[in-house]
Structure 1
Amino acid sequence: MEWWLIYLLTGAIVGFFAGLLGIGGGLIIVPVLINLFSAQDFPADRIVHLALGTTMATIIFTSAASLRTHHLHGAVNWPIVRHITPGIFLGTFGGAALVSSMTGQLLSIIFVVFIFYAATQMLLQFRPNPLFQLPGKIGLLLAGSVIGALSSLVAIGGGLLSVPFLTLCNVKLQHAIGTAAAIGFPIALAGTMGYIATGWAQKEMLPEHSLGYVYLPALVWLVSASMLTAALGAKLTHSTKTIILRTIFVVLLYGLAIRMLFSLLQQ
């Protein structure tokens, strides 16, 4: 528990940017936890798994708060959520189950590639033009499965994938963002269940106070801080030049990705 202050600080920073920019914090939390877990001498071949599982568990709380806010503003398209959620559960749980059979190095490579993608998407503020109509129930089931599987592999709430998909399918941007926030909750819930279930078989080699691949001390402090600072970030959205802070966040993402890339090259 002597690491609580660093967990608390990380949660505060992540929560602030999540509230300010409307993004999830997984892209920051995962690389930070990888470094912290390494410093605590956790089993080397399970560190990335623990970082992903713990991060996914934090998203349960942040996505619930975000979902409530968007629902109150009438920005959630609930019929889409209802039809895409079964696919989300299938894909997310399946992706989390797949993670257990993958090496930490492979997971790190996937994560680094995704950080570069996410940072570039934010830098360019890319939003695809509407080209298609929203698919039917089967199409949403398949889309949810893909979004869920990819989200579980990199421990995100899915917004970076679901917002472009919904925008491409002619859903208004405001509703795409609100609906993506709602989709984030089943992604986080199913992903966390998957990481707990697959990590349970490895519990003998995991650190004390772990619930599968979820490290509970880190989870408690990260969530405690992020829930407080998310509200502050949300308030500052309307009184601060967010372009400056968005740029800082993108630079931070690139820095974390480059650092992880160098670490991978040195292995």
Structure 2
Amino acid sequence: MTSSAAVDVATPLREGRRHDTASAVFLGVLWLCLALASLFLLFIMIEVVRRGLARFDLQLLTAAPSRVRPENGGVRPAILGTLLVVGTTALLALPIGVAAAVYLEEYGDRTRWWNRMFELNIQNLAAVPSVIFGILVLAFVVRTPLNIGAVALSGAIALALLILPVVIIATREALRAIPGEIRDGSLALGATRWQTVWRQLLPAAVPGIATGSILALSRAIGEAAPLILVGATTFVTFSPDGLFSRYTVMPVQIYTLVPQPDQASKDLAYGAILLLILILVAMNAVAIYLRNRFQRRW
């Protein structure tokens, strides 16, 4: 009897040790992968900073690219084009994305087949490669039936379609994170559903919405493939003068400069890469600031 009891006690102990060993090995592999990825990223960042600082000057921001004297060139048209396209993308995607998320989360009946279809398609679109959106806009916006041409508005529409699922998903998650007592309390005091959404839920969801939206725009600002398809010009020496003008953006400009044989163009590309990284870091810093500020308020 005593021997049988000892065996029963020892078996779970051995299984627990094996489980702990497997967990430790798996955790070690994860840390090793993280360390390798971090080292690779650190090497890239050091190389970009080392080579980009030589061209990180006022001329980079104010001059246009030059094929004759590339050492005196800059990326001013690409910077202005990026601001124009990304700004228009935000105006197109953010209101539509937030409104769609509010409808699906607060008004939509999940038992209806069309609402389930919307949710399924949104989840699938978030994983679609960006070049597919470029092909879609090329077929229906740049060419017939809309036929507006390869202009800045076409690029903004492509990027808006790209980030729209991300904005919707981030907004829905932010709304789901709000305690149900806020909804119930507002409705119990006589507020309508729209008053509850507008005055209670959306202000409380601002941290999540702002963070998701800025991260989505950060993805858009670094995209080149869909914009090349919809007509972003690879070499532009003039600044865009509106949504219906020719344009280029910083990722496309960098894509054009890197393969050039002369060293001056490569140095200019590294300077533009460093500038783009700083813009992305600033956008992420703004997202963190907004999240922390509104979280303290609410």
TM-score after normalising by structure 1: 0.27
